[in-house]
């Protein structure tokens, strides 16, 4: 797990630019930092002749020796890798290479990826990788650069292509220093997308000239022609067989580490499932960690502690702070660009405290997306009667978003309207905040690459919703939050439920087993036998912080001047008077606006930070 960045430029790039890009990755990789700087011919470059660079900040988990640091080269120096992530179960591939005469210098997965590419090429490599990854491979023999992101989207990869010059990085902020000042404009469409969804869906980012690579995609950059090609390299295929052994294998392979390991445990099904399989397989040595919200009805720490005790696992309770004023700016910075999941804040605090005990944690991300666990899916499926009905209705500006709710849905296609089940601002609120101007798009969620055969649906339309979540909500919301909040503290999160082998086995299960009421009953036989019999009937509570209390105390001073700041930062996309009226309505008693109010405060802080960064020269 690390932070990566780099560039491939026609013109010389200042050494200070490379330094600035690497500096932005420091929190992701606290253990080592290195640069590879090359000239146009691929030779080590002087400071005034840098055309190509690979930059790496390392969090050392496997083989922490300096020999395994990056960027890493092959024997003749014609292949280089810069890699972030963790791949598993690669030992058989290593033995195959060794039998062919390949000599390994380290025990790291980084070297396996490099040697596998050298032997089998990019396609042969990608089919053999199991886990989470974002990497850049510089192939000086072929004059190519290969960039790839893992199948599920656990690891981020951002890039910019300008005038035949390519830059990439783990963060928007690590790519930004490469861009010339005139190319650092904010994207009005991305800001509107953030208002709509609380985040900016791929491939867009808050900057016009920086893109986010979609999960399961790879890029090929030709150093001679300066052409960039993008393609999807993976489509899931249903795999027959019992999913439980595959789950146990997915869990076991993620316990391999040369640093201390633990488990994030809530009171919910998914994390408890991971802990159950650990306990069943005899991994009792790992501690579990639980976030606690003292005094809140949403606190799950007592249930989590009880589950841990029943399974024979130790549990460490971590109380969430009630005041976040001192950390708000730091948390927003660690979220990289505008991102407004309220649970990011407790996730960030939990990761900070857990990192004092361990450097690797198993997490329960992915169960809801695999097994239709979200209530919003059933809610939207109740409107499937109008799947082929769409009316050209107008959407009026609305401060509270309640006006014309049915009309808003009918103005969108049925699948597009699914975004309203999980949204930040309604289309009416977005129009209100933008001074009444017409919206260019109602939703910015990207269409899935493959919806799948509707004929096999247990419930018509469900496959469409799952595919939308797989392309949007899972990689760009759930996993983006998990990556950014853990890596901000040098903590590696591993998600067994997102193992693509397990996923493909679940795809082959009959719909009646996979989609149940209550959700995830398929996991009952995998749960520890000591857990309560009513475990699956418990109400899903989520990971929700005391938001109203924060807005009225920790964040109260941020309301002053909010409208004028957001108007200025968005080049008048947002109307100052409308923003201030929105804030006044919330403070006047409209508690239902709390999440949207936090969204505006995060946008203000994030754009203020990014505006300062984009105006700064390295």
The chain-wide mean pLDDT, for the chain, equals: 93
Instruction: Return the SS3 of 400.
Output: coil
Structure tokens that stand for 500 in this block: 């693509």
pLDDT exceeds 60 at position 279: yes
- 436 forms beta bridges with none
Q: Residue 240, class by beta-carbon neighbours within 10 Å (0-12 exposed, 13-18 middle, 19+ buried)?
A: exposed
Determine the pLDDT at residue 389: 82
Q: How confident is the model at residue 456 (pLDDT cuts 50, 70, 90)?
A: very low
Residues of the chain above pLDDT 70, percent: 97
CA-closest candidate to residue 273, choices 364, 141, 339, 336: 364
pLDDT exceeds 80 at position 607: yes
Q: What is the mean pLDDT of residues 108-126?
A: 97
Determine the pLDDT at residue 461: 87
Rounded Cα distance between 171 and 50, Å, is 22
Determine the pLDDT at residue 455: 38
Kindly list the distances between the CA atom of residue 531 and the CA atoms of 256, 273, 298, 534, 540, in Å, as whole numbers in the listed order.
27, 11, 20, 9, 17
Contacts of 261 (CB under 8 A, 6+ apart): 255, 286, 358, 359, 360, 361, 362
pLDDT exceeds 60 at position 616: yes
Q: Where are the beta strands (DSSP E) in 280-323?
A: 288-292, 315-319
Q: Residue 107, class by beta-carbon neighbours within 10 Å (0-12 exposed, 13-18 middle, 19+ buried)?
A: middle
Q: Residue 230, class by beta-carbon neighbours within 10 Å (0-12 exposed, 13-18 middle, 19+ buried)?
A: middle
Rounded Cα distance between 410 and 461, Å, is 17
- What is the model's pTM? 0.95
Q: How many residues does the structure list for the chain? A: 618
Determine the pLDDT at residue 453: 44
Determine the pLDDT at residue 403: 66
CA-closest candidate to residue 601, choices 381, 368, 325: 325
Q: Which tens digit of pLDDT belongs to each residue from 89-103?
A: 999 999 999 999 999
Structure tokens that stand for 435 in this block: 């001074």
Q: Are 39 and 50 in contact (CB under 8 A)?
A: yes
Q: What is the mean pLDDT of residues 518-524?
A: 93
Q: Which DSSP category does 455 fall into?
A: G
Q: What is the mean pLDDT of residues 532-559?
A: 84
Which residue matches tokens 């109260």? 556
**Which H or E run includes 231?**
strand 228-232
Q: How confident is the model at residue 339 (pLDDT cuts 50, 70, 90)?
A: very high
Q: Are 197 and 191 in contact (CB under 8 A)?
A: no
Which residue matches tokens 């309505």? 585
Structure tokens that stand for 376 in this block: 């919003």
Q: Are 233 and 149 in contact (CB under 8 A)?
A: no
pLDDT exceeds 70 at position 458: no
Q: Are 299 and 383 in contact (CB under 8 A)?
A: no
Q: How confident is the model at residue 541 (pLDDT cuts 50, 70, 90)?
A: low
pLDDT exceeds 60 at position 451: no
Determine the pLDDT at residue 295: 77
Least confident of 34-38, 133-137, 262-266, 539-543: 539-543
pLDDT exceeds 50 at position 55: yes
Determine the pLDDT at residue 434: 97
Q: Which DSSP category does 457 fall into?
A: -
Q: Which tens digit of pLDDT belongs to each residue from 158-213?
A: 999 999 999 999 999 999 999 999 999 999 999 999 999 999 999 999 999 999 99
Q: What is the mean pLDDT of residues 492-501?
A: 97
pLDDT exceeds 90 at position 154: yes
Q: How confident is the model at residue 423 (pLDDT cuts 50, 70, 90)?
A: confident
Rounded Cα distance between 347 and 522, Å, is 28
What DSSP line would sit under 136-186, residue for residue? Answer: EEEETTTTEEEEEE-SS--S--EEEEETTEEEEESSHHHHGGGS-GGG--B
pLDDT exceeds 60 at position 457: no
Q: How confident is the model at residue 542 (pLDDT cuts 50, 70, 90)?
A: low
Starting at the earlier edge strand, list the strands of the sheet with 360-362.
315-319, 288-292, 261-264, 360-362, 492-494
Contacts of 303 (CB under 8 A, 6+ apart): 267, 538
Q: How confident is the model at residue 533 (pLDDT cuts 50, 70, 90)?
A: confident
Residues of the chain above pLDDT 90, percent: 83
Q: How confident is the model at residue 452 (pLDDT cuts 50, 70, 90)?
A: very low
Q: Are 117 and 79 in contact (CB under 8 A)?
A: yes
């Amino acid at each position: 797990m690390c932070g990566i960045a780099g560039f491939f430029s026609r013109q010389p790039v200042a050494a200070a630019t490379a330094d600035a890009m690497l500096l932005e990755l420091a929190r992701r990789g606290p253990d080592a930092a290195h640069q590879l700087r090359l000239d146009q011919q691929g030779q080590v470059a002087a400071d005034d002749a840098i055309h190509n660079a690979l930059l790496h900040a390392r969090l050392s988990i496997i083989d922490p020796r300096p020999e395994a640091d990056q960027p890493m080269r092959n024997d003749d120096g014609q292949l280089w890798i810069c890699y972030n992530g963790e791949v598993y179960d690669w030992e058989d591939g290593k033995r195959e290479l060794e039998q062919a005469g390949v000599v390994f210098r380290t025990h790291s997965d980084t070297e396996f990826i490099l040697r596998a590419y050298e032997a089998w090429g990019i396609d042969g490599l990608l089919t053999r990788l199991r886990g989470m990854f974002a990497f850049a491979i510089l192939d000086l023999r072929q004059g190519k650069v290969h960039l790839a992101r893992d199948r599920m989207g656990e690891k981020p990869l951002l890039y910019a292509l300008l005038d035949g010059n390519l830059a990439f990085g783990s963060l928007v902020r690590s790519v930004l220093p490469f861009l010339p000042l005139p190319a650092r404009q904010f994207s009005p469409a991305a800001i509107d997308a953030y208002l709509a969804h609380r985040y900016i869906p791929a491939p867009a980012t808050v900057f016009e000239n920086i893109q986010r690579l979609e999960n399961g995609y790879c890029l090929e950059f030709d150093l001679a022609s300066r052409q960039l090609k993008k393609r999807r390299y993976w489509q899931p295929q249903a795999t027959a067989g019992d999913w439980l052994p595959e789950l146990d294998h997915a869990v076991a392979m993620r316990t391999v580490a040369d640093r201390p390991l633990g488990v994030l445990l809530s009171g919910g099904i998914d994390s408890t499932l991971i802990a159950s399989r650990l306990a069943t397989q005899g991994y009792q040595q790992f501690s579990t960690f639980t976030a606690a919200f003292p005094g809140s009805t949403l606190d799950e720490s007592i249930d989590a502690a009880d589950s841990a005790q029943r399974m024979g696992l130790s549990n460490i309770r971590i109380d969430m702070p009630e005041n976040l004023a001192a950390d708000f700016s730091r948390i927003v910075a660690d979220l990289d660009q505008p991102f407004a999941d309220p649970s990011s804040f407790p996730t960030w605090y939990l990761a900070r405290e857990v990192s004092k005990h361990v450097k690797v944690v198993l997490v329960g991300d992915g169960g809801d997306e695999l097994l239709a666990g979200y209530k919003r899916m059933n809610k939207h499926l109740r409107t499937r009667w109008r799947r082929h009905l769409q009316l050209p209705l107008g959407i009026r500006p609305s401060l509270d978003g309640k006006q014309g709710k049915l009309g808003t849905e009918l103005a969108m296609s049925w699948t597009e309207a699914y975004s309203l089940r999980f949204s930040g601002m309604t289309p009416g609120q977005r129009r209100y905040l933008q001074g009444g101007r017409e919206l260019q798009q109602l939703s910015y969620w990207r269409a899935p690459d493959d919806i799948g055969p509707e004929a096999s649906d247990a419930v018509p339309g469900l496959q469409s919703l799952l595919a939308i979540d797989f392309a949007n909500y899972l990689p760009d919301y759930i996993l983006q939050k998990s990556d950014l909040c853990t890596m901000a503290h040098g903590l590696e999160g591993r998600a067994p439920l997102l193992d693509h082998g397990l996923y493909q086995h679940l795809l082959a299960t009959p719909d009646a087993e996979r989609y149940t009421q209550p959700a995830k009953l398929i996991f009952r036989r995998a749960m520890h036998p000591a857990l309560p019999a009513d475990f699956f009937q418990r109400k899903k509570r989520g990971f929700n912080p005391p938001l109203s209390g924060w807005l009225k105390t920790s964040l109260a001073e941020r309301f002053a001047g909010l409208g004028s700041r957001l108007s200025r930062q968005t080049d008048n996309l947002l109307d100052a008077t409308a923003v201030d009226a929105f804030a006044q309505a919330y403070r006047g008693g409209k508690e239902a606006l709390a999440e949207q109010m936090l969204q505006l405060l995060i946008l203000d802080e994030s754009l203020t930070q990014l505006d300062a960064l984009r105006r700064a020269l390295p």
